[in-house]
Amino acid sequence: FQLLNNWETSETKEGMVYLAAIIDWHSKAVLAHKISNTMDSFLVMDVLDETLSLYGTPEIFNTDQGSQYTSEIHTQRLKNKGITISMIIRDYITK
């Protein structure tokens, strides 16, 4: 299967909250998600680890080029699992 990672934000009285979700590319089903008051690599890694433990290793992991996804910790985790990293550049997808 192929995964797509997605961010959503919302402003509350206490400040911003961030939702990181991993979505199956084919079915569009949300496989895992986490909410945090910080948008960082640790939030992304938590969601990635949960998804891998529940669904196994996908062939491709597709994201935008946000710093959370281009960070060394995130890209190295994907490479160590043998997952192809795909990033959206404007309207194009690269591998």
Q: What CATH code is carried by the domain that includes residue 7?
A: 3.30.420.10
pLDDT score recorded for residue 3:
54
Count of domains forming the chain? 1
Answer whether 59's CB lies under 8 Å from 34's CB: no
The residue among 39 and 80 whose pLDDT is bigger is: 80
The pTM assigned to this predicted structure is 0.79
Task: Indicate if the pLDDT at residue 59 is higher than 90.
Answer: yes
Mean pLDDT in residue range 37-49: 90
Quick one: DSSP state of residue 25?
T
**Range of 69's domain?**
2-94
pLDDT, residue 89, reads: 72
DSSP bridge partners of 30: 23
